């Protein structure tokens, strides 16, 4: 059953096999095609009569609890996650205002990457590591368990690595750090800079 306020999966801005070997087509098929779709189905089923009909995902995540929060959070998280990638090519790095902010707040791009990977590898259980910005444009790395998102802290999410096992287990088994290190090859920094918006 559908309603006027239902959510749909974001369209992938690349072919399903375009991120290989960093993320295989098989992982995309399961992660995007099955896991994300399940969160969307669960959220859409829970919305009627909840009082959250018609709100954006961000607003639902800010206000909801329990199952609605979990499913809305995962839809928002995966939407940001899947739209931040591009096929691997030249090694890219942030430019402009985002590059300046990373240098200011972390010392250098390499120091930022090292801290980001460390926090992703060190997050216990399932969750997400995020680069987020506060209202002054200062950057923060946050660890969020389960369906957590920095919007709950009043921050703007910019970049995320998914450390739920379903994001990497088919390709990397239990080697979470190797997966995190490989993801830099496919980040679309134009997308991240646009989210930063400065």
Residue environment code for 31-56, b if the CB has 16+ CB neighbours within 10 A, otherwise e: bbeebbeebbebbbebbeeeebeebe
What are the φ/ψ torsions at residue 175 (nearest 5 degrees)? -90, 65
CA dihedral 112, 194, 30, 56 (to 10 degrees): 120
Instruction: Give the tens place of pLDDT for each residue, 41-91.
Output: 999 999 999 999 999 999 999 999 999 999 999 999 999 999 999 998 766
All CATH 1.10.287.990 domain ranges in the chain, comma separated: 25-82
All CATH 3.55.40.20 domain ranges in the chain, comma separated: 96-196
Check if the beta carbon of residue 9 is closer than 8 Å to that of residue 37.
Answer: yes
Q: Is the dihedral of CA 189, 195, 197, 198 positive or negative?
A: negative
CATH class of 25-82: mainly alpha
Pairing relation of β-strands 156-162 and 127-133? antiparallel
CATH class of 96-196: alpha beta
Instruction: Give the tens place of pLDDT for each residue, 148-186.
Output: 999 999 999 999 999 987 877 777 888 888 999 999 999
């Amino acid at each position: 059953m559908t309603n006027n306020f239902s959510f749909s999966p974001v369209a992938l801005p690349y072919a399903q096999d375009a991120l290989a070997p960093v993320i295989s087509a098989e992982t995309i098929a399961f992660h995007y095609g099955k896991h994300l779709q399940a969160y969307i189905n669960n959220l859409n089923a829970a919305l009627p009569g909840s009082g959250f009909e018609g709100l954006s995902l961000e607003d639902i995540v800010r206000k909801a609890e329990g199952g609605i929060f979990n499913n809305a959070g995962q839809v928002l998280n995966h939407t940001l996650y899947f739209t931040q990638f591009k096929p691997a090519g030249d090694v890219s790095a942030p430019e402009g205002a985002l590059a300046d902010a990373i240098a200011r707040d972390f010392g250098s791009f390499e120091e930022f990457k090292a801290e980001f990977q460390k926090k992703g590898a060190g997050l216990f259980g399932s969750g997400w590591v995020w680069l987020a910005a506060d209202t002054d444009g200062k950057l923060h790395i946050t660890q969020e368990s389960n369906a957590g998102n920095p919007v709950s802290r009043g921050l703007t999410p910019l970049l995320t690595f998914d450390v739920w096992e379903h994001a990497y287990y088919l390709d990397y088994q239990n080697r979470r750090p190797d997966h995190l290190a490989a993801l830099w090859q496919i980040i679309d920094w134009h997308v991240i800079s646009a989210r930063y918006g400065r």
